[in-house]
Homo-oligomer: A and B are copies of this chain.
Amino acid sequence: MIVVLTGGTGGAKFVQGLRQIVPPQQVAYIVNTGDDLRWWGLHVSPDVDSILYALAGRLSRERGWGVEADTFECLEIMRQLGQPSWFQLGDRDLATHLLRTQLLSEGSTLAKANADIARRFGIESQVLVMSNERVETRVQTPSAELSFQEYFVRERYAVEVRGVRFDGAEQAKPAPGVIESIMAAEKIILAPSNPVTSIGPILAVPGIRQALQQTPAAIAAISPIIGEAAVSGPAAALMKTQGWPVSIVGIAQAYRDFLDLLVCDIEDADRQHDVEQLGIAVSCTRTLMRSDADKQALARATLEATESAAVTAT
């Protein structure tokens, strides 16, 4: 069994590759819900939705989020009616949020609602949320504290970040199946997601980090950083707030208490030794995912390197 921790667009791209090469029943995904928001009265789980759409083969390749070939008629009317429109929900995408909101209002947990939606999309992998409780990523800027989507989408991460906190994390519990799947896994992969706001909220749920430290599984992370920059998004600015260098060394530091293997880009081969000094194995490969072939190749290289790491560890 393979367990993948994921969030953000990098994570979704990796999932698009992995699903092509591994039978779906052999993978469980533990997904960040720190970005969840209430939008137009609906419960939107951006990272869960990306994984659902990726696994259903419906993720927009053009945008990297939302549904392939979606339209935005409702959004345009909302804008005309004076409602906020900076967070773009497509018309097809709306079905997911409407259904999730309805299931939640009928008493379903977030985990059950998403499992139900996954089943309706014909998804055979397990899609787990990190927690049924509200854990909200809050981004501290000089002028205000923002939700992640306010920071990422509305402000296009063009504001200074002073810190990040995960509101509600201390009281949250891992969703059913999260700890169990981590403990029972053979391989655990941290997708090439932002370590602060995509993987960070998952690790902030009490019990999950401890399970990663204790599991017998081989744990690999794919670096979302190449050289000294993020492949996409605000990872660099966010890593600085944690005191981590913006490089594969920073990624290794973020996960050093449980990581066995770091998969990094061939461009970072010269930094390999700095990571190995932290007691973490390194495997270099091409990590940029532009085509379907890139995505599959990265998933395959990651699985093979994790296999070797597991053998070495044994």
Contacts and interface: CB of A to CB of B under 8 A. Distances in A.
A92 interface: yes
A303 interface: no
A82 B116 CA distance: 11
> Size range of the interface on A?
20 to 34
Nearest to A58: B77
A229 interface: no
Contact of A95 (B78, B92, B105, B120): B78
Interface in A9-47: 40-42
Interface in A78-96: 78, 80-83, 90-92, 94-96
Nearest to A121: B81
A242 interface: no
Given A105-B41, A120-B82, A94 B95 contact: no
B99 A83 contact: yes
A251 B70 CA distance: 48
A59 interface: no
A228 interface: no
A102 interface: yes
A98 interface: yes
A42 B98 contact: yes
B71 A95 contact: no
B70 A95 contact: no
Contacts of A71: 71, 73, 91
Contact of A120 (B67, B81, B91, B98): B81
A73 B92 contact: yes
Contact of A102 (B41, B67, B80, B95): B41
Contacts of A98: 40-42, 74, 78
Contacts of A95: 74, 77-78, 81, 83
Contacts of A54: none
A53 to B, nearest CB: 11
A71 to B, nearest CB: 5
Contact of A91 (B67, B91, B105): B91
Interface string A90-117: 1110111011011001000000000001
Which 10 pairs across A and B sit closest by C-beta, in order of nearness?
A: A77-B95, A41-B102, A73-B91, A91-B91, A81-B120, A74-B94, A40-B98, A74-B91, A77-B92, A78-B95
11 contacts: A41-B102, A71-B71, A71-B91, A73-B91, A74-B91, A74-B94, A74-B98, A77-B92, A77-B94, A78-B98, A83-B95
